[in-house]
Structure 1
Amino acid sequence: MRSAARWIDIGLVAPATFHATYAGLADHQVANAAPILLWGRTTEHICLGQHQNLMAELAQPLEVPVLQRPLGGGTVWVDEFQYCFVLIVPLELLPGRPQEWFEWGLAPMLATYRRFGMEVELHAQDVWLDGRKIGGSGAATIGNCAVLASSFLMHFPIAHFVQCIACPTEGFRNWMAEALSVAMTDWQSHQSVPDESVLVKVFWDSLQAGLKWDFIQSALSADEVLARDAVLPELAELDASNGKRLVPDGIKLNARTFLTEKHDGTNWVRVLTVDGKFSRIMLSRVLSAEQLEKLVLSSPTIEALQAELILMMPLGEAEYWAALIMNTAFISA
């Protein structure tokens, strides 16, 4: 059974206006309302997830505007080189479990990429192309609706992004830039960027085919404008004491890649993990490149690290550094 749906294009707007629009729309919808696809772009800003802490995540001070969205997920760079979309769907029209929302809601996005010849895959909440993340997503329940947001990433400015992130050392920042060049990609790295009208047509068709919706061009009603404007003051207030760092001692670069650094007095450890294994390790204690490589190749357990380190230093030191490495590394379950 097909459903009528609204396509609302708000063009290029300020960050707060964009985020307030989908939040206000979602909060204003009544049960059995038509689903909405909100389409638009926004000027550059850093966008935090709703549970993140401003002071813990970001460098201070920042010249780039910062906004905390009413959706989950981590720190993202958003600018006019992304085509953002938000699905605003009454809960009764959704798959039963929230874990299923991403597979359901992002399927038309995957179909769109494939129509352009890019064989993307869905990994949890992220879209991947050729082993790299090309898109993330966030979701929340607002009012009677589920809200699912993502974007078509035409260009990702790694250098700008890493300057915005709180980093314990410049070494950490440098590693982040290098790791992002492997963990992330964008549209222009694979083919020429299409005209917006061409992208919209393909995405529109993919949504209608995949979700069985029939779109009509729509706009915010007067009441929906008031609902949007009511949200704006909330978005303008950034509570620096709220939330926490999403990844303790570091940052998630994609679903498989984490960079962390922990300090213990003058001692420190920096670890890059990929797929739950060591990819790169550095210590403040001087070790040779060959010794560091042996640590990277070891199993990510304290016993395996101790077995390698005891060949490089006294037992007490080996136990200390093995524990500090394991306490630093983000090893997902």
Structure 2
Amino acid sequence: MTTPAAPEWIDAGEWSATELHALYTGLAASTPPDAPPRVLWMRSREAHVSVGGSQDPEADLDLDHCAARGIPVVRRPLGGGSVWVDADQDCFFVIRPSRVLKRGPRHLFAQGLAMAVDVLRELGLQGVEPRGQDVWVQGRKIMGTGAATLNEGSVFGASFLGRFPVEDFLACVRAPSEGYREWLRPVLEAGMTDCAGELGRAPDSAALRDSLRRVTERRFEAPPVEVTPDAATVEAWLAAGYEELDDIADGDARPSVPEGIRVNRDNHVFETRVACGRLRLHVEGQHIARVWCEDPAVDRVLGERVAGELPERLHLRSRLAGCLDPAVADAVSARIDALYRGIA
């Protein structure tokens, strides 16, 4: 029986927003096919918004606000949508040669998510469970994760949300109208949680780090070997990472969720335009939790006939039949259906 390779533990300390994403990106891109598992521990020195590798930040964020407040926006190689990374937020990355991942990215997601769940449980959080590519606590999302393949290396990344500043993040989100953020706020508050909210305090960084080291040993069945890369190695990783980030920034981009935002896998808020004016929508799971139209007459009908219903065209059209002009009913039904289908 082959003895598992001992994982390498790299405590890289604190970095600026761009440096943080460049460092793990460059390390992954430079990973040789015979490298052992590596766990990279880092902290963000500054608050910033990180967006997914294929996400268009201009479509999803208020970039003027971010620039005015000095909040960097970094397009990362990992997938997913907009993520607030607070100053002093602890992040970890699992980096492995792609050839050893028998099930590809799913293998790496399974490893990384299991490690994150173990740490949160060890800290004393209750009701911790993975859902898709996220980690939830007591029915609310506490962590999003992402992964990417870069040359011969693959990387999984996540961060421990000590405190989630709802208002700071909300101000960075592009708002198509005055009322949009007012709708989004309660969905964020109900759909997201953080370590401070669950434990009564934000966990100490050293406690998180030490817990992750113990989890690393258990999961890889070998004590981690602490590695301190020299300055030249770090510079090489950064250089490779900057090159990758430049390529990502020049690549194709699209909104993470067309005309809306994903709060968690069960909650999405949209705003669009139809013939009768602005249409705003909160979809929770497979039902319309809330709907609004700026035309008062249409808004009244939608509130009575559509709230709580499935966001599917034929079903909505049947609910609106005889209550709205047929053309308006069809247009609204089709638009809601298209927004819902754009979630996937």
TM-score over 0.5 for the alignment? yes
**Structure 2 counterpart of 1:179, which letter?**
V
Residue 99 (structure 2) aligns with: 92
Q: Distance in 2 between matches of 1:331 and 1:236?
A: 28
Task: Supply the AA of the counterpart residue of 2:167.
Answer: A
Paired positions, count: 333
Name stretches of at least 5 consecutive residues in structure 1 with no aligned partner: none
Match of 2:114 in 1: 107
Which residue does the alignment assign to 2:272? Answer: 262
Contact 1:2 1:214 (8 Å CA) reproduced: no
TM alignment of 1:117-156, pairs within 5 A: 117-118=124-125, 119-156=127-164
User: For residue 315 of structure 1, what is the aligned residue in structure 2?
Assistant: 326
Mean Cα deviation higher: 74-83 or 136-145: 74-83
- CA drift at 1:233: 5.8
* TM-score of the two chains, using structure 1 as the length reference: 0.92
- Asked if structure 1 preserves the Cα contact closer than 8 Å seen for 2:276 and 2:328, the reply is no
**Aligned ranges 1:1-333 → 2 under 5 Å:** 1-42=3-44, 43-61=46-64, 62-63=66-67, 64-118=71-125, 119-191=127-199, 192-221=201-230, 222-232=232-242, 235=245, 239=249, 242-264=252-274, 267-287=277-297, 292-330=303-341, 332=343
For residues 188 and 289 of structure 1, do their structure 2 counterparts lie closer, same or farther at Cα, with a shift above 3 Å needed?
farther
Shift of 1:138: 0.8
Give ranges in structure 2 of 5+ residues lacking alignment.
Answer: none
Q: Is the 8 A contact 1:67 1:236 kept in 2?
A: no
1:297 and 1:105 mapped to 2: Cα distance?
A: 36
Would the aligned equivalents of 1:260 and 1:329 in 2 still touch at CA under 8 Å?
Answer: no
Name the aligned partner's letter for residue 89 of structure 1. Answer: R
Letter in 1 for 2:24: Y
Tell me the secondary structure at the aligned position of residue 296 of structure 1.
coil
C-alpha RMSD of the superposition: 2.3
Once the two structures are superposed, what CA deviation does each residue of 1:289-328 show, in whole Å capped at 9, x if it has no partner?
Answer: 6850431122322233223323433333333332233233
CA displacement at 1:180 relative to structure 2:
0.6
Distance in 2 (alpha carbons) for counterparts of 1:140 and 1:320: 39
Which string of whole-angstrom CA distances, capped at 9 and with x for unpartnered residues, describes residues 214-257 of structure 1? 21221223234223234336646884884110111111111111
1 CA distance for matches of 2:49 and 2:178? 20
Preserved CA contact (<8 Å) 2:39 2:95: yes
Q: Is the 8 A contact 2:195 2:203 kept in 1?
A: no
Identical residues among aligned pairs (%): 30
- Assess, with a 3 A threshold, how the Cα gap between structure 1 residues 282 and 4 changes in structure 2: closer, same or farther: same
CA contact (8 A) 1:12 1:80 kept: no
- Structure 2 Cα separation of the partners of residues 261 and 236 of structure 1: 31
